[in-house]
Structure 1
Amino acid sequence: MARYFTLDASPPVHRAMVDLDRDVFRKSIPVLAARIPASKTGSVLKAEAIKKSIVDLPKIRSVVPDPADPRMGRLVLLRVSEEADLPPEAREYLEKESASFTTYTLDLDYDYWTADEILHSILPEELCEGSPSGFAVTGHLAHMNLNKEYLPYKQIIGQVVLDKNKAIKTVVNKLDSIDTKFRFFKMELLAGEPNYIVEHHESDCRFTFDFTQVYWNSRLHTEHQRLVQLFQPEDVIADVFAGVGPFAIPAARKGCAVFANDLNPNSAKYLAKNTVDNKVTDLVRTSCEDGRDFIRTVVGRALDHPFPAYTGPRASRAKEKEERRKIQQGQASGDLDITTKSGLQPRRNITHFVMNLPDSAIEFLDAFRGILSPSVQSAGDLSGIYATLPMIHCHCFTRELEPDKAEAEIRERVEEKLGHGLSDDYTLHLVRSVAPNKDMYCISFRLPREVAFAQ
């Protein structure tokens, strides 16, 4: 029976190490090497008789220059240490090719192994399964969520993650405590620079913010994209809990007009900055107020100060630059002058409300009662402007893990707060599993007319 050997390239074991010592992670592995002329390298590597005997370690080249003749000679590294362990067909093939055998030493160090491999050699054996090398990346910052059994090793875990991910400059761990007013998690520095101002790129947009002072979850990228894809460029969006703009900025880049609000002053500050950085200040109006107040007043703002009509995709920077040059030279054609386009009405009615505060967004739904009634709006009868009622996209958590029970529980809570039933054309989208017994959903429904015009 043929014998196939695997070289042991695992790192040295140093259980319960608390302070990282990179120098102890060194290993020398003697391997058998076949000495061949450089001209034969291609044919030898393709030979069926030897394929399964060639070294297959990650990041290790299977062919290296022969130290005895670096220019004309090559060493084909094999996955055994002794010639006696080489399968007969491989030995016969190499002898036929007039290859000779020598020993080559692979010298591995700390840089060779992955974060998982290093942590498996450091942590107590009972903690190796599910070792915490996973993390979310936001800009230059890695965000971990360590279980309590790993906390005694948190500094060394953070340092290994930092070492093994060159784009990461800061590693933090989420703490159990959460800011009760603004709902962002507090965190501690594990390794790297204490620099929490990050620049994060998502959906071709650039977001800058203080990760320790605002809420951001990179795992919601798909959800951000999903909702924005539902919007039409001519829509007007009211983002009740906008954060630093993960819905508002991409929607504006699409052409939507956006009222973006957040109660957290730091979120509102970076939201305003991000509108500037992404060149959408003409399409995003920011505010910093309670979500309930925002819902009650944003309809009036859209009526009193409507957004200009959507006039088509933005011109490219090159085309805008050329048009400015023509204007300066008195040669402008007017093709890019959106103010000359006629027959387009300003955008006065809100078409979508986004409510991404899953912990409590449903509690704010009672603020929609009567938002279009004359008792709330001074503009009189709005039934014409709002012939079609806005869509509400409300994120929420549920402990019900069976889809049917989750849907029933969420619908009941929504209808209770609205004070009215939902029509059956609502949709319920599972966003993600947050914990073993907690899921995040988004329920989307058209605001019932009876609620919007309630007296």
Structure 2
Amino acid sequence: MLQSSLGRLLKEVLREKLTPSELKALYAGFDVIGNIAVIKIPEPLLPKKSLIAEALLASLKNVRTVLLQTTPVEGEYRLRGLEILAGEPTFETIHREHGCIYKVNLSTAYFTPRLSAERLRVANQVKEGEVIINMFAGVGPYSILISKRVKDVMVYSIDNNPEAYRYMQENIKLNKVEHKVIPIFGDAAEVIESRLQRVANRVIMPLPEKALSYLPTAYSALKDGKGIIHYYEHIFYGKGEDPLRSAVAHVSGKAEFRFDVEYAGIVREVGPRLVQVVLDLRVG
């Protein structure tokens, strides 16, 4: 369900329980991951967090748990603080997306359904016979979706979060793609330097906080220095500024290789004047 639809649903559910000013203060949307809803509540409404959560739980038949996000996504493993507000006391769920199954504990590994369309966009570009490196794989959504949609493909799927890696291993088995997705635990730069130099036709970098600094590593993984790099970055922008142009400038300043930008797009809004962008770079 789109965020705009979820936002309207939340306000409709709470129309009889909150004042008009309180309704206006509510955030516009929330995430549903498997059977867990994750909501943010502005500080003035925190005394009513249980009321809000119980109302939401009662209105969504497929939701069994409501969690409150208490901190931003942060840290080495991109985790967020979570508090159980209503329903079953768990952080673990199974999320279904594009015919794939992803098991995840939201307190120990990062996952967002807001990248669903972007994951599909990338997967639809992959051709038969490709070797792919996913440098920041998490619980495996990019890697597994690609392997399910492309018959002849090999995906090296790397992550340095031990919990995300454990769930990735389980998800590879759940989706029956053990022969196509190779899970690797470790830092992507160290893994590529030690064993995956010049092997890939395509490299995916779905970690905006690290993509720029790891760009030389991504290039070193491309076979014969040619292929596609899917590069992601968070960009702050001021009035009249183009975040896509800024991202291209950042890459141009870092890359010591020739590339063309085949596609540039805004994946999603992350915050006020903060967006996640993607650049598809054709290298060589």
Length-normalised TM-score, structure 1: 0.56
Residues 429 and 289 (structure 1), Cα distance of their counterparts in 2 relative to 1, 3 Å cut: same
- Name the residue aligned to 1:279: 176
SS of 1:444 mapped into structure 2: strand
Q: Which residue of 2 aligns with 1:264?
A: 161
Are 1:432 and 2:268 an aligned pair? yes
Tell me the SS of whatever aligns to 2:270.
Answer: strand
> How has the CA–CA distance of structure 1 residues 446 and 252 changed in structure 2, closer, same or farther, with 3 Å as cutoff?
same
Q: CA deviation at 1:298?
A: 4.5
Give CA-to-partner distance per residue, 1:172-209, whole Å, 9 cap, x none. 01122545121121211111111221111111011111
What amino acid does structure 2 have at the position aligned with 1:279?
A: K
Partner of 2:200: 350
Cross-structure match for 1:414: 251
1:297 has 2:147 as partner:
no
Q: Partner amino acid for 2:100?
A: C
Relative to structure 1, is the Cα distance of residues 143 and 133 closer, same or farther in structure 2, using a 3 angstrom cutoff? same
Correspondence 1:376-455 to 2 at 5 A: 386=223, 389-400=226-237, 405-420=242-257, 422-448=258-284
Q: Are the structure 2 counterparts of residues 370 and 199 from structure 1 closer, same or farther at C-alpha, using a change threshold of 3 Å?
A: closer
Cα–Cα, structure 1 residues 432 and 368, in superposed 2: closer, same or farther, change >3 Å?
Answer: closer
Query: Does residue 234 of structure 1 match 2:129?
Result: yes
Percentage identity across paired residues of the two chains: 25
- Cα–Cα, structure 1 residues 433 and 229, in superposed 2: closer, same or farther, change >3 Å? same
Post-superposition Cα deviations, 1:139-159, rounded to whole Å, max 9, x if no partner, equal: 110011222232221111011
Matching residue of 2:40: 145
Aligned mate of 1:176, from 49, 71, 94: 71
Distance in structure 2 (CA, Å) of the matches to 1:203 and 1:389: 29
Residue aligning to 2:3: none
Measure how far apart 1:245 and its partner are.
1.0
Flag the 1:402–1:224 CA change in 2: closer, same or farther, 3 A.
farther
In structure 2, the residue matched to 1:121 is: 16
Asked if 1:213 is matched to 2:108, the reply is: yes
1:359 aligns with 2:256: no
> The residue matched to 2:279 in structure 1 has which SS?
strand
- Contact 2:259–2:283 (CA<8 Å) still a contact in 1? no
Q: State whether residues 240 and 294 of structure 1, in contact with CA within 8 Å, keep that contact through their aligned partners in structure 2.
A: no
Work out the CA distance in 2 between the residues paired with 1:405 and 1:191.
41
- The one-letter code sitting in structure 1 at the alignment partner of 2:170 is K
Q: By how many angstroms is 1:366 displaced?
A: 2.9
Amino acid aligned to 1:427: Y
> Which AA in structure 2 matches 1:169?
R
Sort the Cα spacing of 1:162 and 1:396 in 2 relative to 1 into closer, same or farther, 3 A: same
Measured in 2, the distance between the counterparts of 1:238 and 1:137 equals: 28
Q: Secondary structure at the match of 1:247?
A: helix
What is the CA deviation profile of residues 185-237 of structure 1, one whole-angstrom value per residue up to 9, with x for unaligned ones?
Answer: 12111111112211111110111111111111111100010000010132111
For the pair shown, the structure with the greater C-alpha radius of gyration is 1
- Are the equivalent residues in 2 in contact too, given 1:401–1:439 (CA < 8 A)? no
Change (3 A) 1:149 1:368: same
Does residue 288 of the first structure (1) align with residue 125 of the second (2)? no
Shift of 1:388: 6.8
Deviation of the 1:264 alpha carbon: 0.5
- The superposition leaves residues 232-264 of structure 1 with CA deviations (integer Å, 9 ceiling, x where unpaired) of 132111000001111100111122210001110
Separation in 2, partners of 1:182, 1:213? 8
Unmatched runs of 5 consecutive residues or more in structure 2: 1-8
Deviation at residue 401 of structure 1 after TM alignment: 6.0
How far apart are 1:403 and its partner, in Å?
A: 8.4
CA contact (8 A) 1:428 1:442 kept: yes
Once residues 443 and 282 of structure 1 are traced to their aligned partners in structure 2, the CA distance between those partners, rounded to angstroms, is: 29
Deviation at residue 127 of structure 1 after TM alignment: 1.4
Q: Give the aligned CA root-mean-square deviation in angstroms.
A: 2.3
2-structure distance, mates of 1:231, 1:120: 46
Aligned mates of 2:167, 2:112 — CA distance in 1: 15
C-alpha separation between the residues in 2 aligned to 1:447 and 1:166? 47
How many angstroms apart in 1 are the aligned matches of 2:59 and 2:32? 13
* Separation in structure 2 between the aligned mates of residue 230 and residue 124 of structure 1, nearest angstrom: 48
User: Are the counterparts in 2 of residues 263 and 290 from structure 1 also a CA contact under 8 Å?
Assistant: yes
| Superposed displacement of residue 417, structure 1 | 2.4
Are the structure 2 counterparts of residues 358 and 369 from structure 1 closer, same or farther at C-alpha, using a change threshold of 3 Å?
Answer: closer
Unaligned ranges ≥5, structure 1: 1-113, 304-348, 373-385, 449-455
CA offset at residue 165 of structure 1?
1.0
Q: Say if 2:132 and 2:156, in contact at 8 Å, map to a contact too.
A: yes
What CA distance in whole angstroms lies between the structure 2 residues aligned with 1:195 and 1:133? Answer: 25
Aligned-partner Cα distance in 2 for 1:200–1:369: 32
Q: Which residue of 2 aligns with 1:336?
A: none
Is the Cα contact below 8 Å between 1:397 and 1:439 reproduced in 2? yes
